[in-house]
Structure 1
Amino acid sequence: MRTIAVTIVVGCSLSLGQISARAEPDQGPTALQQLIDELIPAPSSVLPPAGPAPAGVAPELATVWHAIRSAPTGDPFFDLRPADLDRYAPGDIIESRDITWPAVPMVLTSVLALFQRAVLLKFRTTDASGAPSFGTATLLVPFNPWTGSGTRPVLLNATPINALNRRCTPGYVLSHGYSVDSVNGNDFVPSPSMWAASRNYAVVIPDHEGPLMAYAEPRVAGHTMLDTVRAVRNLAPDQFGESRFALTGYSGGAIASYGAAMLAREYAPELVPRLAGAAIGGLPTDYRAFAETYDGTYVSGLLLTITLAMAREHPEIIGRMNHLAQWAAMSPIKEVCSANTATLGVFGIPYAALSNTRDPLHSAVAEKLFQRMSLKDKKSSIPIYIYNGLHDPWMHAADAEALFNQQCALGVPATEKIVAGEHILGYVNGFFGSTDWLGKRLTGIPAPHTCELAQHTRPVPPTTPNQRTRAPKPP
């Protein structure tokens, strides 16, 4: 009988869609949310304790926090957090491993880029709360010696990992080979790695979601990117100590390059002279607006995946999940790779169906998290190139233009390019412009100030959440 009742409750919660009333912060649950928690037992009442509670989490929710994390990969390089992590400085190398086989053949067959050697790095970094953490990244070194001026330039290619499973990271895939879990491959074609190899640049591919796989967390991603630069310089100071580094990323990878650009001066000021610029494409700049616009729509699968990822790094989210959401977060959903993150969107699941708060997107916890994750008040420490598809239905061109205008007003050498196409065509059509810009920065050509030259004559959608056209819910 309980199974039947739970099925009915879940079905009702999905059919109700998004609760439209705007509640006061933490106004308490709806009758439906209360019924869900009455019919579905709390995981803490069923499962044995799994470990200590992280900061900000009630002891009874510690079991849930431990259970929503990705399962160990079986490789201590990715699984083991050093007990003495505090003694390392950010960017210090904890361990390195030669993974030329299978990484080099895999890169050649997947993105047609030929390298001589691949090295997997494990280094100290910092999590979203400022506590010590560790990161991993893969360094790819070309065959030919560098004959240009100075030392060999380095491109950080932040691929769109968009996953919850540690086996889906570029570092794990390149060091262990493809598997059922990691068939996504993590990179676009044409690939920035392919372009960099053609220029005889070194490439570094960071696992920018961090050890908790905190997909879309900008501080985790930004810190990992910057500490990747530190780690590469520490690994081979004679080869890369004086190199120019450039950053690139699109969509999920853009979060990492954007985070690094915005956080560099406060987190790694010594790197700023060595950072030539960042190319940022298809970037989600406003998490609040994105969540409000697509809650309960076909994009809800992506939203809920990101929320689960965020709960690993911001465990206070767990306390705002109802029992149904907590069990779901502990299910095989927690191990999805990028190819599967959006499948739940077919149900159009609203946040309210999985929360214990009447209006979860406007609660005090949500307000705190949106503020903590927003970098909109930051000034880029390095030149930036912003590009976006004109008709991108998810990452609106108006948001890219707003970011460009804001950074221009702050005096940043910024360049903007709105190209034809939606999200995928926006990447393809913007690829050659972004790599041309990156190549000039890596050869030492100063970034142009195009702010005063920008012509804003194309039609773009409005930028504020209440002016957006809400995406239709599936029938």
Structure 2
Amino acid sequence: MAAFLHSSARVVMMAFMALMLAVVSARPGAMRTLPRSIPVPSEDPFYQPPAGFESKAPGAILRQRNVSTAFLGFIEDPVTAYQLLYRTTAINGSAIATVTTIFVPSFPKTDRFVSFHTAYDSSATICNPSYNYRLGAEQADIISSAEQLILQMYLQLGYITVSPDYEGPEAAFGAGHLAGMGVLDSMRAVSNFKTLGLSSVEPMIVGLGYSGGAIATGWAASLHPTYAPELDIKGWIQGGTPANLTGTLSFSDDTPFSGFMLPAIVGMSMPSAYGAKLTPILNRILTDKGRKILDTARTTCGVEELLTYSDLSVLSTDFQTLGDRMFYEPTIRSVMSKNMLGVNKTETPTAPVFVYHATQDEVIPYSNASLMVDSWCHNGASVKFTSFANGGHATTEMIALPDVIDFVKAAFAGTTASGCTKNTELDNLLNPLALGVDLEPILVNLIQVLAHLGKRDSNVEQNLEVLTDVVTE
């Protein structure tokens, strides 16, 4: 399996590079000489907040700059782009600072923006989207690079699109409240960024994310009513949601996807997350092997960890001394219980939510997402819940794109339905023309990339056959 994954990753990267060249080849000025390598976040002064920033309000802009963005670090994305360093909040309520990247299309709708939460799933700051998006960045995160294709769809529709480093300055992956506040404070910062020329002091916003990005989306939706109620959020979209962190980690242990557990363990034990509580426990229970593996996770990105640690069992005594009782340790159990969406009534979204999930998702359990939806509906939220009966984790992100785009448009128009609805989609074939002629070329390229990532999903070959027929007609 490990050999297959390594081979698949190489194919994906080669295909993605070719597809990026195809996507931008028709854009004037899309190619230019690569600048010298830019500094990584840990060495870039822009990421360091100025003295006294702690006294600023959450969402305050601390620094700003124009940036050049690119696919894979060297194929320029010819849009106007900015980055903001802004003040946000750690788990214990203290002030921290992180960065958001703003993409502005040629003819933007100035009364709204989309907040796009990419699944960078990492506990290393070199994987931050704000770094990987930039021209000249040494690419470390394939997932963010692939999802940058999805981001182009919103730009094509005329939406200013924002992508925050919602894990904060320490890449605290998995810490739901921190990610949610990071998203909401990014929205505050962008709303107050006068350079954009937004036509409203309270612009309309739709927030969305898939998989790891759904952690940030789900928690931002949950915290919006109490943490940032002034934001005019029209809707939320989250797919493949890790609604229960314990359930997700247990589900992926000793599977081809067990590498995703490592950045979550490291991220949750960062000082800005739950380090004060978890670090002493981890120091006591980790074996030498476990320490060495987690040290590696502090410097690498999600895909590399996925490839390197396929079929690893974190719940083995080879990794830590508690074995399969690890999540029952009182402190760990207490922390993990705080990272379950839908538990507290006060953390119920007030803006409409579109939730979608594959019933056969092999990475994130469907049952946890379904339970979250039931809880939110019981507490009065308006939720559209779509279950995809075919396909798996990777292909569901692409299969759902027409529904996602429709919900974004409806949310901005104020025409989403109130109350809760559930439906099941049986067809896992995607017609790229469903999004319209302008978006069809981008979607075709995205499907080909994600098809490699989702080879274990059912009927992927059918999607590729359908696409071939559409493209050649």
Normalised-by-shorter TM-score class? 0.7 to 0.9
Counterpart in the other structure of 2:116: 157
Q: CA offsets, 1:317-358, max 9 Å, x none?
A: 222223526742663331111211222133434354333546
- 1:340 and 2:304 matched: yes
Q: CA deviation at 1:145?
A: 5.0
1:135 counterpart (84, 95, 98): 98
Shift, 1:395, TM fit: 1.9
Residue 254 of structure 1, aligned match among 186, 192, 214? 214
**Counterpart mapping for 1:352-363 below 5 A:** 352-357=317-322, 359-363=325-329
What amino acid is the match of 2:266? L
Counterpart selection for 1:76 from 42, 45, 62:
45
2-side partners of 1:190 and 1:360: how far apart?
A: 36
Pairing partner for 1:422 from 385, 392, 395: 392
Q: Please name the residue that 1:445 is paired with.
A: 414
Cα distance between partner residues in 2 of 1:221 and 1:92: 17
Deviates most, 377-386 or 86-95: 377-386
Aligned pair 1:374/2:340, yes or no?
A: yes
Partner of 1:432: 402
Identify if the C-alpha distance between structure 1 residues 119 and 388 changes in structure 2 by more than 3 Å, giving closer, same or farther.
same
SS in structure 1 opposite 2:269? Answer: helix
- 2:142 is paired with a residue whose SS is coil
Distance apart, 1:266 and its partner CA: 1.2
User: Aligned equivalents of 2:141 and 2:244: distance in 1?
Assistant: 30
Give the drift of 1:221.
0.9
Question: Which letter maps to 1:226?
Answer: L
Q: For the residues of structure 2 that align with 1:445 and 1:85, how far apart are their CA atoms?
A: 37
One-letter amino acid matched to 1:339 = V
- Cα distance 1:294–1:171, how it changes in 2: closer, same or farther (>3 A)? closer
> Displacement, 1:381?
2.5
Gaps of 5+ in 1: 1-70, 459-475
Would you say 1:173 and 2:132 are equivalent positions? Answer: yes
Change (3 A) 1:292 1:165: closer
- The answer (yes or no) to whether the contact 2:119–2:143 under 8 Å persists in 1 is no
- Correspondence for 1:205 among 150, 163, 187: 163
SS at match of 2:121: coil
8 Å contact from structure 1 (residues 320, 355) kept in 2: no
Q: Could you say which residue in structure 1 is the equivalent of 2:441?
A: none
Give the drift of 1:293: 3.6
Task: Please state how far the C-alpha of 1:184 moved relative to its aligned partner.
Answer: 1.9
Contact 2:70 / 2:135 at 8 angstroms: preserved in 1?
A: no
Tell me how far apart the structure 2 counterparts of residues 156 and 137 of structure 1 sit (CA, whole Å).
10
Q: Which residue does the alignment assign to 1:320?
A: 281
Aligned counterparts of 2:362 and 2:290: Cα–Cα separation in 1: 30
Q: What TM-score does the superposition give when structure 1 sets the normalisation length?
A: 0.72
C-alpha distance in structure 2 between counterparts of 1:77 and 1:402, whole Å: 41
With over 3 angstroms needed to count, the CA separation of the structure-2 counterparts of 1:105 and 1:392, relative to structure 1, is: closer
1:350 aligned to 2:315? yes
* SS across alignment from 2:97: strand
CA distance in 2 between counterparts of 1:325 and 1:308 reads 15
CA distance in 2, matches of 1:256, 1:165: 17
Structure 2: unaligned runs, 5 residues or longer: 1-39, 427-473
1:427–1:369 distance in 2 versus 1, CA, 3 Å: same
**What SS class does the counterpart of residue 144 from structure 2 fall into?**
coil
Partner-residue secondary structure (3-state), 2:82: strand
Match of 1:395 among 359, 364, 377: 364
